[in-house]
Amino acid sequence: MSVAKITISMEQQLLEKIDQMVKNKAFGNRSQAIQSAVKDKINKLEHTRLAKECAKLDMKYEQDFADEGLIMELDEWPEY
């Protein structure tokens, strides 16, 4: 995986917390700590987006559509 170097600005107090985590061996270095935080935030935002899109679904329509498929399949199942 390729890695790009970037420059960011950060509040001193937050940087000190990150440095403390690195010192306590929670992360190998500042870059790993910040990369992990960014990944977590992106995952949360993507999950939130999925939940918002799912909320737009018409649940009755979706259930009727699923049931329709099951009814059609039941006729095709062999008797046991």
Question: Per-residue pLDDT tens for 53-65?
Answer: 888 999 898 888 8
**What is the model's pLDDT at position 19?**
98
**How many angstroms separate the Cα of 51 from the Cα of each of 27, 44, 56, 58, 74?**
31, 11, 9, 14, 32
Which of 1, 64, 5 lies closest to 34, judged by CA? 5
By the 8 A CB rule, do 30 and 18 touch?
A: yes
Q: Where are the domains of the chain?
A: 12-76
Query: pLDDT for 3-23, tens place per residue?
Result: 899 999 999 999 999 999 999
Which of 22, 24, 45 lies closest to 33, judged by CA? 22
**What is the model's pLDDT at position 21?**
97
0.85 exceeded by pTM: no
Q: Which residue has the higher pLDDT, 12 or 45?
A: 12
Which band of pLDDT confidence, cut at 50, 70 and 90, is reported for residue 25? very high
Q: CA triplet 55, 74, 70: central angle to 5 degrees? A: 5
